[in-house]
Amino acid sequence: ELLPCILPLTALLFYRKEMALQGSLLSALMLGALVYGAAAKGLLRNIRSEGVFCTDGGGGHVALEQGMYGQHSGVRPLFLKFHKVGGTTVMDVVNSFLDQDPVCTRCCGIDRCIGQPLGCTGHDGKFIFREMLNFRSPGVLRIGNKADSMDPSNVLPDEERFGLLRLASKDYLKWMPASWSSDERLLILTVLRDPVERMRSKYYYNLESGWCVLPECAAKNSTFLEWMQMPLMSDIKTGKSPESCCEYTTTLGMSVESAKTALATLFDIVGINEKMDELLVTIARSMGKPYSSLPDPRSPEYTALDNSDSKKPWTTKERQVAEELVRDDLEVYRYALELNARRMQHFWGSQEDLDQAVQEYQRGQ
């Protein structure tokens, strides 16, 4: 019922910088009317600060024929996809295991789906956690074994996590059943990367990207050091944003301790970008898939999104500034490193068994 009031205002806020530069309030009002008109026709469902649009019909996605996909395995994955952590590789793997239109799963069911959406693997998943942890129920999570927060027993039961996820807006929860069943299994996973390197990758991604264009693209107008020293901006094109420096903490409860608690209690798999092959074989085993169904680690496509060769070496000053900017996320990442080691040990039984699985995958078995 509030949609007619909210969408024009959203458009005004989202385009406030552009409209201010043009000095045209009339243009902003016209844009708001257009956005509302599109929404009324069901063409536009969500506006994202990242520039990602998930639509209901007319989004440019091909409608797939009924019966193209396999049977639901009972696993309902929720992937918390941070930026510049190798998340697209993980998202694509999970989507392929679901045997469902990947557009449907990437957009958490917001986009056109054939049948019931089965998971949530794209950036929209962040809004579930932000609503649940930052606004609807801040501080609700508690660690059962306080003496050992990394103990796998601290992961909440599926039914309890299901109830917590239901605190988020229903638009993001179309992939979840109306009520929980013992036939269903939640698989909540994420992957983290050294936030110092993650922020540098964000700068170089903007620098090389075709969507970040002059004159407003800050990365194309400044050095990496100058870009890091800019004030935080809500628009990722005009400067560094919380997405670049602080995405772990701003998504998982707005503090270091809240983020640690969320990782310890909500996530079945906490992966590390620097150990991607370990993460992929763990996902395959968790979803009952052979390693042969994973992307070929020897193919050029496996590293197609790696932009390491385009980056200049760190300077001492750059690293000092970067470590200060990401200090909270860096503490969360260091916790995740230990948590990952404990969870992998528990899941596989031993490091030797995990190493063997990785070797089998790398040999193409």
Say if residue 24's pLDDT is above 70. no
Say if residue 289's pLDDT is above 90. yes
Going by DSSP bridges, is the β-strand pair 185-192/269-272 parallel, antiparallel, or unpaired?
parallel
Q: Given pLDDT bands bounded at 50, 70 and 90, which one contains residue 56?
A: very low
| Per-residue model confidence (pLDDT) at position 302 | 67
| Per-residue model confidence (pLDDT) at position 236 | 52
Q: How many whole angstroms separate alpha carbon 256 and alpha carbon 275?
A: 23
Q: Given pLDDT bands bounded at 50, 70 and 90, which one contains residue 267?
A: very high
Q: How many whole angstroms separate alpha carbon 187 and alpha carbon 130?
A: 18
| Per-residue model confidence (pLDDT) at position 245 | 87
Residue 304's Cβ-count burial label (10 Å; 0-12, 13-18, 19+) is: exposed
- 185 - beta bridge partners? 75
Token duo for residue 186: 């939640």
Q: Given pLDDT bands bounded at 50, 70 and 90, which one contains residue 180?
A: confident
Asked if 272 contacts 340 with a C-beta cutoff of 8 angstroms, the reply is yes
| Per-residue model confidence (pLDDT) at position 303 | 65
Q: Given pLDDT bands bounded at 50, 70 and 90, which one contains residue 320?
A: very high
Least confident interval from 2-16, 62-76, 298-312: 2-16
Q: Given pLDDT bands bounded at 50, 70 and 90, which one contains residue 301?
A: low
Q: What is the mean pLDDT of residues 273-293?
A: 95
| Per-residue model confidence (pLDDT) at position 364 | 82
Asked if 287 contacts 75 with a C-beta cutoff of 8 angstroms, the reply is yes
Q: How many whole angstroms separate alpha carbon 140 and alpha carbon 132?
A: 9
Say if residue 271's pLDDT is above 90. yes
Q: Given pLDDT bands bounded at 50, 70 and 90, which one contains residue 304?
A: low
The helix (H) or strand (E) run that includes residue 80 is strand 75-80
Least confident interval from 56-65, 187-196, 213-222, 298-307: 56-65
Q: What is the mean pLDDT of residues 69-89?
A: 82
In the chain, % of residues over pLDDT 90: 44
Say if residue 287's pLDDT is above 70. yes
Which strands form 185-192's sheet, in the order they lie side by side?
A: 75-80, 185-192, 269-272
Whether the model pTM is above 0.85: no
Half-sphere exposure of 324 (CA within 13 A, CB side): 9
Q: Given pLDDT bands bounded at 50, 70 and 90, which one contains residue 37?
A: very low
Asked if 164 contacts 246 with a C-beta cutoff of 8 angstroms, the reply is no
Say if residue 284's pLDDT is above 90. yes
Say if residue 146's pLDDT is above 90. no
Mean pLDDT of the chain: 78
Asked if 78 contacts 13 with a C-beta cutoff of 8 angstroms, the reply is no
Say if residue 61's pLDDT is above 50. no
Token duo for residue 157: 């039961």
| Per-residue model confidence (pLDDT) at position 351 | 95
| Per-residue model confidence (pLDDT) at position 195 | 96
Say if residue 200's pLDDT is above 90. yes
